[in-house]
Structure 1
Amino acid sequence: MSHPLSDMMGVNMEKIRSMVDTNSVIGEPITTPDGVTIIPVSKVSFGFASGGSDYVSKHTSADGTNPFGGGAGAGVTIQPVSFIVIKGESVRMLPVVAPAASSLDRIIELLPDLTDKLSELLKKDKKPKDIDETGEF
């Protein structure tokens, strides 16, 4: 036989599960007209509490069980953390945080951009040079 407290906890958890799924953490991809795909990433926090008590009454029930009193509650917060931006072969994670606290933090944030720029420059330098009419470079 199921106890009312177990039933309340079960209903509470089912409601939380219906509100928070994997699409709450990693959101649905959004594609812009110029082909950039943006995927939101969120932090999900939740909590629940329930409690109850059987108590003795002056009047006993027909089945011999004591009356039950209880309650349950839940809370959910969803906070955006970052966005994954996909453009062609480039994938970036754009955090939703306060600006860098120090110069070193800012340099670390810019490091992926710097490596992309360097790789583009190296690709340009490796292109074959034009051959003039004499057959020489």
Structure 2
Amino acid sequence: MSSPVSDILETMLGKIEMMAQAKTILGEPVKLGERMVIPVVKISVGFGAGGGEGSEKDKNTGTGGGGGGGFSVQPVGFIVMEGEKTAFLPVKQKSVGSLVEMIPTLIEKMKGGKKKKEEETEAKSE
């Protein structure tokens, strides 16, 4: 026989499990030219639940339960893969606005790496 508290906990944990999948933590891969970029986030979860049962002298009975929780998603960085090479680029800024501002820089770094590789290839062929 289940109790209100166990029902509440089971429901909460089920919802948390749905939100904290690997796809949520790593995000969907994005292909940028020859590179594959995977966003990485930190997920923090907190929750609590409680309940009780009781009866009074006049034989009225009662049960009660409650629960609450919180969920936070914070950008951590990017996994960048190109050919056999893999690198992790951490996000140093603490706000999502800063993360959005970083995207053009990230793309430029990737383009710069491609230009350098092209220059090296041209130098070898000379």
Q: TM range, normalised to the smaller chain? A: 0.5 to 0.7
The reply on whether 1:43 has 2:38 as its aligned counterpart is: no
User: Does the 8 Å CA contact 1:16/1:74 hold for their aligned counterparts?
Assistant: no
Q: Which runs of 5+ in 1 are unaligned?
A: 99-119, 128-137
Residues 1:18 and 1:59: Cα distance change in structure 2 (over 3 Å): farther
Structure-1 residue corresponding to 2:64 = 69
Matched residue count:
99
Q: TM-score, normalised by structure 1?
A: 0.62
Structure 1 position 96 matched with structure 2 position 95: no
Residue 7 of structure 1: how far off its partner (Å): 0.7
Q: Any runs of at least 4 consecutive aligned residues in structure 1 with deviations exceeding 4 A, and if so which?
A: none
| Unaligned 5+ runs, structure 2 | 94-116
Q: Percent of aligned pairs with the same residue?
A: 39
Find the aligned partners of 1:8 and 1:58 in 2 and give their Cα distance: 28
User: More helix per residue: 1 or 2?
Assistant: 2
| Alignment-mate amino acid for residue 29 of structure 2 | P
Counterpart of 1:20 in structure 2 is 20
- Give the partner amino acid of 1:68: T
Query: Separation in 1 of the partners of 2:50 and 2:70?
Result: 16
1:1-16 matches, cutoff 5 A: 1-16=1-16
Give the equivalent residue in structure 2 for 1:133. none
User: Normalized against structure 2, the TM-score is what?
Assistant: 0.66
Structure 1 letter corresponding to 2:89: L
**How far does residue 59 in structure 1 lie from its aligned partner after superposition?**
5.2
Going by fraction, where is strand more abundant, 1 or 2?
Answer: 2
Secondary structure of the corresponding residue to residue 55 of structure 1:
strand
Match of 1:108 in 2: none
SS of 2:55's equivalent in the other structure is: coil
- Pair 4,59 (structure 1): closer, same or farther in 2 beyond 3 Å: farther
CA RMSD of aligned residues (A): 2.6
